[in-house]
């Protein structure tokens, strides 16, 4: 930080705009989080309420005098050059909205936008599991399945900023499970938290003695806890999930020859329950040299991966 009083401290205001929560922080050049807050994302039809919430969060985090740029991660496709949201399925009021310009107008600061899973990959490479790597794939197993790909140190956005939709790689063409994207048999319908619940319900008639029987509030965490206690229904679900995840990762390994695959998101809590089947599929399907080379690691930044990645991207901007 400069001692010159005329110079702003070199902090980035980073915000992770989720469908449910708006999480924000100021981050310094070393990746240290100085101040953070978490609040509910305004559930509105009007994008200006979201702009107002972000502006208020900037002031709560110390105000514009404390920061040199604003960097936002959005759950959807963004046009990075134009700082606009192209499509955000969980925040449809932002579709087509020039979020960058709207914030610059109010805050008089540069604004950077990025997709959430892309930012998480950057965060994990900067301050997480993939420090020192150059070519990585980051997979986020949450409500859906997100992906970020960094090749030779560069985030791979594709021609329209929509690359790395790892969750929508087909891993089961004949099973017929429909995906929200319109396709069928995507990785997301087998490896997301939503999928864990669905697969448990599907398999439950075969496990009448499961502790999960009669539980109307099933979620991935409850199923994971049952699995830890040895519940066979939960264990089958996670084994099945590991098989499909392994198939997807084997495809990615053969195409991209990554140094590391980082797996994050809430479902990764079940790591011990799906790891064996995931590795077995990789071993059976990926080229042996490539499979031996790639490290498969749990993410280390937790919920902060997106915020850290956002800050990193703004520092580099």
Q: Contact positions toward Zn ion, by CB under 5 A?
A: 168, 179, 181, 183, 186
With CA atoms as reference, report the closest residue to 252 among 183, 157, 151. Answer: 151
Of 56 and 181, which CB lies nearer to Zn ion in the complex structure? 181
- The nearest distance, CB 170 to Zn ion, in angstroms, is 8
**CB-CB neighbours of 187 under 10 Å:** 30
Of 179 and 249, which CB lies nearer to Zn ion in the complex structure? 179
- The nearest distance, CB 93 to Zn ion, in angstroms, is 23
Dihedral sign for Cα atoms in the order 165, 282, 179, 273: negative
CA–CA gap between residue 193 and residue 263 (Å, rounded): 14
Buried b (16+ CB within 10 A) or exposed e, 24-40: bbbbeeebeeeeeeeee
- The nearest distance, CB 179 to Zn ion, in angstroms, is 3
Alpha carbons within 13 angstroms on the beta-carbon side of residue 140 total: 28
Of 26 and 192, which CB lies nearer to Zn ion in the complex structure? 192
- The nearest distance, CB 294 to Zn ion, in angstroms, is 24
Of 181 and 218, which CB lies nearer to Zn ion in the complex structure? 181
Of 149 and 291, which CB lies nearer to Zn ion in the complex structure? 149
- The nearest distance, CB 188 to Zn ion, in angstroms, is 5
Asked if residue 314 lies in contact with residue 12, where contact means CB atoms within 8 angstroms, the answer is yes
Task: Indicate the DSSP class of residue 178.
Answer: B
């Amino acid at each position: 930080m400069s001692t010159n009083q005329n110079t702003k401290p070199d902090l980035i205001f980073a915000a992770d705009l989720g469908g449910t929560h708006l999480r924000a922080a100021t981050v310094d050049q070393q990746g240290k989080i100085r101040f953070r807050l978490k609040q509910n994302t305004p559930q509105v039809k009007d994008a200006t309420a979201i702009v107002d919430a972000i502006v208020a969060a900037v002031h709560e985090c110390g105000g514009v005098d404390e920061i040199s740029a604003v960097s936002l991660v959005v759950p959807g496709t963004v046009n990075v050059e134009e700082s606009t949201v192209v499509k955000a399925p969980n925040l449809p009021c932002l579709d087509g909205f020039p979020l960058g310009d709207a914030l610059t107008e109010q805050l008089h600061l540069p604004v950077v936008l990025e997709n959430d899973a892309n930012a998480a990959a950057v965060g994990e490479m900067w301050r997480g599991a993939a420090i020192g790597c150059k070519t990585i794939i980051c997979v986020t197993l949450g409500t859906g399945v997100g992906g970020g790909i960094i090749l030779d140190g560069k985030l791979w956005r594709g021609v329209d900023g929509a690359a790395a939709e790892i969750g929508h790689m087909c891993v089961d063409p004949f099973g017929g499970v429909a995906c929200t994207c319109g396709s069928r048999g995507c990785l997301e319908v087998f490896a997301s938290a939503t999928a864990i619940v669905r697969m448990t319900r599907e398999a439950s008639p075969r496990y009448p003695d499961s502790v999960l029987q009669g539980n109307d509030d099933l979620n991935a965490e409850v199923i994971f806890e049952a699995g830890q206690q040895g519940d066979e229904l939960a264990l089958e679900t996670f084994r099945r999930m590991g098989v499909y995840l392994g198939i997807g990762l084997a495809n990615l390994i053969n195409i991209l020859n990554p140094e590391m695959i980082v797996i994050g998101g809430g479902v990764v809590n079940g790591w011990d329950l799906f790891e064996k089947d995931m590795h077995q599929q990789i071993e059976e399907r990926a080229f042996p040299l490539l499979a031996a080379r790639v490290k498969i690691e749990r993410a280390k930044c937790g919920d902060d991966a997106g915020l850290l990645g956002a800050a990193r991207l703004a520092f580099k901007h």
